[in-house]
Structure 1
């Protein structure tokens, strides 16, 4: 008799074996197994013996049943090593590790041998078939590669029921979105000759007919017209234009029947409305479908009374005003009771709940009630509505925590948090803080929603969770040819979060045959941990302008600027600064030195003191969707400051953004979808005094690269004398400069996360020779579409705009570096 026949074994099966009595033997310590692992002891182990204390040493590991994978691969996946001691819980963990590979249909583990004489752990496995190739047949309306790119069903992977199910669900959903709701999907496998445990896997798809909604009919509607009901539905009939394809979508239809139509009627007082029946009548040959809906409209309820109870923090008048609103829904004539608008009531209930949240009543409840009154013959149906408010006690902030900032210092993030320990909780300030931290640009977006954790005292701990991202960027590029056929390029380094303290620094060198610029800058948002910010910039520039070709400008200098947070105005800062530079404007060889030239002027020293105020509540520095930014700045040059020239340059700007919708994304994850926003901006500037030594401090307009932006027009073509082509000989370069300007933009933007934006825009603007000549009714207009993305080299964009007021109106393509217009 072979010795193995008497080997004592403990078998750990993937399917539990339930046993009430487990004999004790040499391996009796395994009897501690719990949950999904139990013991089955061979008859030779039924002799009572003392169980050893603690784990035993596994002398060797064997693998049986494997055909595709090597013993070494399976042993490594099992995470157990020969010569080490293990308990039953270690074996359980190793079994789970093997299952997690997805390579097996079944796994059994047992041990052979006597403790002290050599114990072997044996993995007995039944491997899953390897899908050498995956074919999706009969799928015509979507690309089969899209299925495998999106789901876990991929060639070269072991067969997985979950992966196949995921692929089927994806196919059905994609086809349904294209109006093909009826699909038959079958599975088929083929063995590969000479290759055990390897198969060819196929999904065979039978697409049904495309279902198109050709007609929508409604029965039972006596109050509202059919077109009104169709307008309230997401499912639309097939129309003449391409966007009215009439594609059948089961999810949208369900939404119409359970949400959209009931909401439409409820907002008009029909609280008892219901859909009695819905039927799809499909032509099997054409796929044309008639949707028949039967409704029971029910009576219209009129508002009899509105009441509030339980409110102490806010007055009856203040809360009632939110319900009645600007339309004054108060009933002055009892005989003319207004129709009850359930949609409005639901919206203002949410507003009042938010009002209490912002006032610190985190655990408050605003409980709406709608009570129909008994029917009285000859009278309209009436309803009494109101709120039962349970305010509770205001919650105070106990702790404000920050997690995940491995590099950025807490103080930098806390400067962006507008709610502090000891404050009354305010949801509005939590949201503002969340948006402010996100706008720093130091962390991955979308950020995780802050967690609000109540404690035993009824107060809350607020935790802002961030994930650091790389912020420094080494930028470089070069080109041969281009302007004047020269060699040009740039190299630089930008770090907006130096040392994790929010300080920013940049170095950049632009070089070329007609350009040699060096720039060094440093900004500290809190000098010596104070509320005073500061920046320093040094520059040495030698450049030529594309639009002004008759000379070259050299400028050497620097500037320093400080910012002060104004009291009781956390979004507003006062800035002061001083700059000094030496400017040289040289004519190119062969160009006559004329009084009307921008160049050929004496070298000049520019000494400038600046003061300005900025208020910024925008939720993103480049792609805002909410908030506003206003800035006013005055630059005083010369006079008592010394240097050449003597003038004051004033500029003002404002931009305002409001979100108008969100598509996709996770509703619980702000910023994860595509946000649509409406934005407007306005800029103004005026210069008074003698700026002759520094003509480039004046205003010029057109294009996007230099001066004031106006898309749809070439650079510097908008002048105080009107529109002139770029190389027109009818105007001198200096005449293109103005002493005042106005520009305005309105746009609808689609923010694709925080790295890309597309927009439709309208621009308008003009320049004048003096402030007194400004005429807002005489503006040059442009409109078009734009695309902007954030790259390691900074924001870049393309704008394609139509200039309406050119001599020959037409389209203009603009390439833009830096933030948009």
Structure 2
């Protein structure tokens, strides 16, 4: 007997004696399977992919072993060659994985058991994948560590069943959540531990409930990589770095000491500040973007002497880049350089020369504005919200505001895709807004019973994008034994495709006051409101409105007439109002303002 492969590892043994000049491989006359109980021999032989009557090479054997392992049904696979009565027999010896009958989870209390279960990738009724079991335990451990439970222990136990299957028990011992009791800083000489900790997001626990001291690895990493270098950089220490960090927890109390080792380096002051490569804007115009400079200090060749502030320097770069982007220079580059200079003789303070290299390029105009995905909403409605037009210079701020305006319509899935900016052969750009329609209308209805209204119900319909034209329709109807209240309104933000908006509403209300037998009251009327843009602004409007109301009372309603100070009568109202709405991110605004007078 010649063993070709054991446990899925290929060996260098040949299937048959080979001649160096012309290697010969055996032809398989039959295939048998040993060690199987759950799967049939035919299933295993078919999965191996070896064809009877063909020559079988060593690579064929390797491929068959890999294929069988890939099924996930076996813990071990061997293929052997045997001879019986002059015939070549290939024997596939397998060790089947037991079927997972069930699995249980115990221990989670401080975290949601459902969330912990979601980390388990075991499938009941399939062969047990021990690698998946290990991955599940690791995923649970990582989940707890992410939440600060560094003392967590995850134990797994498998138990054979009488039918040859197996059950798995996963036990989680959560331990205590690690809380930072103390933060120690080593290597600092310019700033105290308290000042440095104050700049960090990871803080030790304190007296107040919001100072829990909760340890989060991601938060500490953010402190080390960004917050502390930025904080020191704003104070001139551009070479600052955290050289090491360690956490020493007490598994009994759950308290921990966080230690950070730092190298502060030297504090730099600003030397010369200059801008080169600018022709579209003068040095004086660009100087307005450098808020830390006085007029005339840019490109004057003199050392400034101020403590370097990284945030101010980066803000100046962004303002210069925005200035060019808003003037059509979409391909402009603003490259920042920082050059360290040794202290001058007799001075111990090193200097940092700052330079902006500007590559302006050519301005780009807007060639076309495309809108894609508006299957319901008319294109005109979307274009009304866009504040850029073909033929004008590209402006990044106006493009951003256009994106925000289209998003504010609230007709499309959020967040919307960022507009595509595609260059043309002439150097201009095409801009494409991609939207995805969503359901905008809503309907509500129900039944009610009360002492004043009796048995009744209500029906409400509202559509903010009526017919896909951005018009709003609303209907409300409340009805019952003692009430019938009907309201209908229609709003058009662009009457006849103009910038004039209008809203018309009508109502009819009938009520019977059964408490105290006060009688009946009927009201009917309506209102009309016209809105005009204020001084051409897109976000400010003046509204003029007129309302009419007629009230009637039935006989025996003297008491209620006196209460409302109105015998059967009619009322007219005239109103004038002002509204400025520049909010961003509706219906839950994240910027802008709303002013109403």
Distance in 2, matches of 1:459 and 1:193, equals 76
1:322 to 1:142, Cα distance in 2 relative to 1, 3 A: same
Q: Aligned ranges for residues 752-771 of structure 1 at < 5 Å?
A: none
The secondary structure found in structure 2 opposite 1:415 is helix
Quote the Cα distance in structure 2 between the aligned partners of 1:551 and 1:337: 85
Report the counterpart of residue 510 of structure 1 in structure 2: 478
1:457-488 per-residue CA deviation (whole Å, 9 max, x = no partner) reads 3333322222222222222122112x537224
Q: CA deviation at 1:263?
A: 1.4
- Answer whether contact 1:556 1:583 (CA < 8 A) is retained: yes
8 A Cα contact 2:291 2:312, kept in partner: no
Matched, 1:258 2:225: yes
2:592 equivalent in structure 1: 627
Alignment match, 1:764: none
* Other-structure match for 1:242: 209
Within 5 A, what are the aligned runs for 1:92-131? 104-105=71-72, 131=100
Over 3 Å counting, the alpha-carbon distance change for 1:237 and 1:590 in structure 2 is same
Provide the rounded CA distance (Å) in 2 between the counterparts of 1:582 and 1:628: 37
2:528 to 560, 564, 567: 560
1:426 maps to which residue? 395
Q: Does 1:225 align with 2:203?
A: no
1:617 to 582, 590, 593: 582
Instruction: Confirm whether residue 289 of structure 1 aligns to residue 289 of structure 2.
Output: no
Residues 540/462 of structure 1: CA separation in 2 closer, same or farther (3 Å cut): same
| Structure 2 CA distance for partners of 1:465 and 1:372, relative to 1, 3 Å | same
- Deviation, 1:385, is 1.0
Please show how residues 152-231 of structure 1 align to structure 2 within 5 Å: 167-168=136-137, 170-181=139-150, 183=152, 185=154, 189-190=158-159, 192-194=161-163, 200-205=167-172, 207=174, 210-231=177-198
Instruction: Provide, for residues 597-637 of structure 1, a one-character-per-residue CA deviation record: whole Å limited to 9, x for no partner.
Output: 433x2333334555554332222554322112334xxxxxx
Who is 2:283 aligned against?
A: 316
Match of 1:135 among 72, 84, 104: 104
1:411 aligns with 380
Residue 345 of structure 1 corresponds to which residue in structure 2?
Answer: 313
Counterpart contact for 1:104–1:127, Cα < 8 Å: no
SS of the equivalent of 1:479 reads strand
Q: 1:575 to 1:216 in 2, by over 3 A?
A: closer
Distance (Å, rounded) in 2 between the aligned partners of 1:447 and 1:431: 12
Cα 1:226–1:330 shift into 2, 3 Å: farther
CA distance in 2, matches of 1:492, 1:593: 30
Deviation at 1:165, TM superposition (A): 7.5
Contact map agreement 1:397 1:462 (CA 8 A) in 2? yes
Partners of 2:384 and 2:323 lie apart in 1 by 25
State the SS of the aligned residue for 2:346. Answer: coil
Aligned-partner Cα distance in 2 for 1:574–1:424: 31
| Greater CA drift, 261-270 or 139-148 | 139-148
Q: Decide whether the 8 Å contact of 2:484 with 2:511 is kept in 1.
A: yes
Give 1:501 deviation, angstroms: 1.9
Going from structure 1 to structure 2, the CA distance change for 1:66 and 1:563 (only over 3 Å counts) comes to farther
- In structure 1, the residue matched to 2:460 is 492
Radius of gyration: which is bigger? Answer: 2
Tell me the TM-score normalised to structure 2 length: 0.74
| Alignment match, 1:598 | 564
Out of 465-474 and 558-567, give the one that drifted further: 558-567
* Number of matched pairs: 514
> Among 368, 377, 387, which residue is 2:336 paired with?
368
The 8 Å contact of residues 137 and 156 in structure 2, kept in 1 or not, is answered as no
| Structure 2 CA distance for aligned equivalents of residues 431 and 497 of structure 1 | 23
Q: CA deviation at 1:539?
A: 1.3
- Structure 2 counterpart SS, 1:581: strand
For residue 429 of structure 1, give the secondary structure of its aligned residue in structure 2.
helix
- Give matches, 1:563-578, under 5 Å: 563-565=531-533, 568-578=536-546
What's the offset of the Cα at 1:401? 2.3
The 8 Å contact of residues 328 and 364 in structure 2, kept in 1 or not, is answered as yes
In 2, Cα distance between the equivalents of 1:528 and 1:310? 50
* Matched residue, 1:680: none
Deviations 1:73-124 (A, max 9, x none): xxxxxxxxxxxxxxxxxxxxxxxxxx9xxx95489xxxxxxxxxxxxxxxxx
Unpaired runs of 5+ residues, structure 1, are: 1-40, 45-64, 72-98, 108-125, 632-651, 653-821
Cα distance between partner residues in 1 of 2:478 and 2:137: 55
SS of 1:276 mapped into structure 2? strand
Q: How does 1:405-804 map to 2 (within 5 A)?
A: 405-481=374-450, 483-484=451-452, 486-543=454-511, 554-565=522-533, 568-584=536-552, 589=557, 591=559, 597-599=563-565, 601-631=566-596, 652=597
- C-alpha contact 1:533 1:562 (8 A) present in aligned 2: yes
Give the structure 1 partner of residue 33 of structure 2: none
Q: Is the contact between residue 181 and residue 250 of structure 1 (CA under 8 Å) also seen in structure 2?
A: no
Measure how far apart 1:172 and its partner are: 3.6
Question: For 2:586 and 2:404, how far apart are their aligned partners in 1?
Answer: 11
Say which SS state the counterpart of residue 423 (structure 1) adopts. coil
Q: Provide the secondary structure at the position in 2 that maps to 1:324.
A: coil
- Cα offset, 1:153, TM superposition: 5.6
Give 1 or 2: higher strand fraction: 1
* 1:730-787 Cα shifts (integer Å, max 9, x gaps): xxxxxxxxxxxxxxxxxxxxxxxxxxxxxxxxxxxxxxxxxxxxxxxxxxxxxxxxxx
Query: Given the alignment, which residue of 367, 370, 374 partners 1:401?
Result: 370
Distance 1:106 1:364 in 2: 60
CA drift of 1:265 comes to 1.2
Q: Which ranges in structure 2 are unaligned for 5 or more consecutive residues? A: 1-24, 29-36, 44-66, 75-94
Conserved? CA contact 1:329–1:338, under 8 Å: no
Aligned-pair distance for 1:232?
1.0
Partner of 1:269: 236
Offset from partner CA, 1:521-566 (integer Å, 9 cap, x none):
2223334444443333221123589xxx988753212333444446
Q: 1:147 — aligned with what? A: 116
Within-5 A mapping of 1:32-43: none
Give, in whole Å, the separation in 2 of the partners of 1:364 and 1:440: 32
For normalisation by structure 1, the TM-score amounts to 0.55
How far the C-alpha of 1:428 sits from its partner, in A, is 1.7
Structure 2 counterpart SS, 1:395: coil
Per the TM alignment, residue 229 of structure 1 is displaced from its structure 2 partner at its CA by: 0.6
Secondary structure in 1 matching 2:291: helix
Distance between the aligned counterparts of 2:133 and 2:126, measured in 1?
12
Q: Distance in 1 between matches of 2:237 and 2:316?
A: 19
